[in-house]
Structure 1
Amino acid sequence: MLLTRSDVNKGHPAYYQDYARRLADETPGAFYIDQFNNDANPLAHATSTAPELYQQLEGDIDAIVVGVGSGGTLGGLQAWFAEHSPKTEFILADPAGSILADQVDTGRYGETGSWLVEGIGEDFIPPLARLEGVHTAYRVSDREAFHTARQLLQVEGVLAGSSTGTLLSAALRYCRAQSRPKRVVTFACDSGNKYLSKMFNDDWMRQQGLIARPEQGDLSDFIALRHDEGATVTAAPDDTLAAVFTRMRLYDISQLPVLEDGRVVGIVDEWDLIRHVQGDRQRFSLPVSEAMSRHVETLDKRAPESELQAILDRGLVAVIADNTRFLGLVTRSDVLTAWRNRVAQ
């Protein structure tokens, strides 16, 4: 498996399509399927998906809600329904930040943004997408898409992904805008099993600003992973450095509080690991107590923000407590995340 970058646009050598094409050109005997330009893509939907939908709904479909990644689903369904059911409207569900809804509404390229929904939405117009045949386009935010997918699991027991959440959100909006009942089709087009640590994880959703935690008006508002909610990743003094490193990698964090009998007795970060392991990899078996920093900057949650700022200005991590009860850590990144989330809400 080769990883590509998600922060570059089409035409950049690290963009996933350009990367795949170059890899195919350089690999003897390789075949580049190219779903974005391969006519077999929409043909598969025109010869299988479309007639199946038509048969299951007994030839009576008022609207079909789709997303666009490669454009194959939209293009194939439109080609078939134009001949067999021209009354059927096509509705585009587009992640907020994608340019496709702008193209439908105005015929012009909009400004490309960013989105967390995976699998649909683009920063270019896929050649296979027949956007001129789209009746209405809905822009769906990450917040709406993710919460709809979570609700789908809670209410219907269907574990679907973020693309499904986007399509279902748009379908619900379309249905609610109608003056009479209509027969509307959309797709559960991706599984939710790859989102268990993201969309279905409350801590991750809070870090992304997609679940709002009630503000307390004190320093605890800056804690990303609260210990009293069971979210803080911790270490014990006798844990090995190898175990701590594994937790850092697993949870994508740079430091852990070291707790003993519920009290913070130290903090261990990546630099502590480097200093103690460098030159002798066998030292990964050392206990955390030999590597952790025992100098811990603790603030009561009612302290002024200026005291938190002073600690962070020195490159340190702040331990936030309620009297003597440990609540969590605050890093510079946590402060920035909290500020961003306030704007997003």
Structure 2
Amino acid sequence: QFANPANPQAHATTTGPEILRQMDGDVDAIVVGVGSGGMLTGIGRFMRGASRKTAIILADPEGSVLAPYVDTGRMVQAGSWAVEGIGEDFVPPNADLALVSQAYAIPDAESFASARELVLAGSSSGTLLAAALRYCRAQSAPKRVVSLVCDSGAKYLSKVFNPIFLAQEGWSHPDRHGTVRDVVVSRYSEGTAVVVRPQDNLRTVFSRMRSADVSQLPVVDESGHVVGLVDESDVLAALLTERDDPNKAFARPVEDVMVRRLETISADAPITDLLPLFRQDYVAIVMDGGQFLGVATRLDLINYFRIAI
């Protein structure tokens, strides 16, 4: 795939001619990414013979070495990126970067936003569309520009289209205040916090814990007030008291087993104020004035420092 000459040849004989035919022979630029390099090279070589005016534009995830190499001719240290399918830490043998007229390094947040807001597609398509928009906005006259949507977004629902994943990466709330607010990933007011009602049963608790991969859930009443916290140990204790009839235990309402003594902290408190709570194995219930914002755990704090690096 990375070195097989049949790869670019396939795009030179099929993809390139199809683009030119569908554009009625008039295309100013084509925006592509590089995984193996076959598409860029095949389309680029075809256009060099069939449409000399057509510019090949490289869309590259920020962190990949390819866009910097096009811009400077030097290899840089590869970084990391969340976009899948394109970007490399080396120049693939099939990638003829001499065909590229201009390259754009697109941050992950911009790629994901483009995929979410413009089309139901994967992150690599978001990178291509973001680069195409940058290219078009830089022009002084209208241009006929082609890019590609590589696949459906249906395979990316847990990542590109998952608001919790975006929040964990720091893209939903990029502004940093240095307060506990920054640590809360899933916010109740935005509908991303996983909660239960006092009248929900323990089977519901277990199901939500398992699907969200969390070990505790805040208990919120119909008015939006936090009235308790239920964790794995509470569910397990209920099951152990009903060993002969687990179904009876799972049918118990949350309000029967939840912890009612809560450790709250202001969203505007300094982040260091979380440490005494965590040393005592508490989950922090974060309040924004009188409103429940969300919970803060040790893992949330670790994630805060990860994305701050």
TM (norm. structure 2) is 0.82
Give the gaps of 5 or more residues in structure 1: 1-34, 153-157
Which residue does the alignment assign to 1:48? 14
Which residue does the alignment assign to 1:234? 195
Offset from partner CA, 1:306-341 (integer Å, 9 cap, x none): 443210233321112356543321112323444566
Q: Assess, with a 3 A threshold, how the Cα gap between structure 1 residues 237 and 102 changes in structure 2: closer, same or farther.
A: same
What letter corresponds to residue 285 of structure 1 in structure 2? F
Q: Distance in 2 between matches of 1:302 and 1:104?
A: 45
Give the superposition deviation at 1:138.
Answer: 0.9
What's the secondary structure of 1:135's corresponding residue? Answer: strand
What's the secondary structure of 2:167's corresponding residue? Answer: helix
Which residue does the alignment assign to 2:133? 172
Give the superposition deviation at 1:95.
Answer: 0.2
- What's the % identity of the aligned pairs? 51
Offset from partner CA, 1:10-55 (integer Å, 9 cap, x none): xxxxxxxxxxxxxxxxxxxxxxxxx334443323212211111111
Superposition RMSD in Å: 3.2
Greater shift after overlay, 42-51 or 245-254? 245-254
Q: Assess, with a 3 A threshold, how the Cα gap between structure 1 residues 239 and 181 changes in structure 2: closer, same or farther.
A: closer
Which residue does the alignment assign to 2:229? 267
Alignment length (residue pairs)? 304
Q: Assess, with a 3 A threshold, how the Cα gap between structure 1 residues 244 and 135 changes in structure 2: closer, same or farther.
A: same
Q: Distance in 2 between matches of 1:59 and 1:257?
A: 60
Q: Assess, with a 3 A threshold, how the Cα gap between structure 1 residues 85 and 322 changes in structure 2: closer, same or farther.
A: closer
Q: Distance in 2 between matches of 1:264 and 1:69?
A: 48
**Given the alignment, which residue of 148, 153, 168 partners 1:192?**
153
Give the superposition deviation at 1:66.
Answer: 0.4
What's the secondary structure of 2:282's corresponding residue? Answer: coil
Aligned residues of 1:162 and 1:190 also touching (Cα < 8 A): no
Give the superposition deviation at 1:144.
Answer: 1.6
Q: Distance in 2 between matches of 1:124 and 1:177?
A: 28
Q: Distance in 1 between matches of 2:143 and 2:192?
A: 44
Q: Whose relative contact order is higher, 1 or 2, with alpha carbons under 8 Å and at least 6 apart? A: 2
Greater shift after overlay, 106-115 or 235-244? 235-244
Aligned residues of 2:163 and 2:192 also touching (Cα < 8 A): no
**Given the alignment, which residue of 219, 223, 228 partners 1:258?**
219
Which residue does the alignment assign to 1:209? 170
Q: Distance in 2 between matches of 1:122 and 1:275?
A: 50
Offset from partner CA, 1:221-273 (integer Å, 9 cap, x none): 43222223332211245545443333223223332113355544443334555
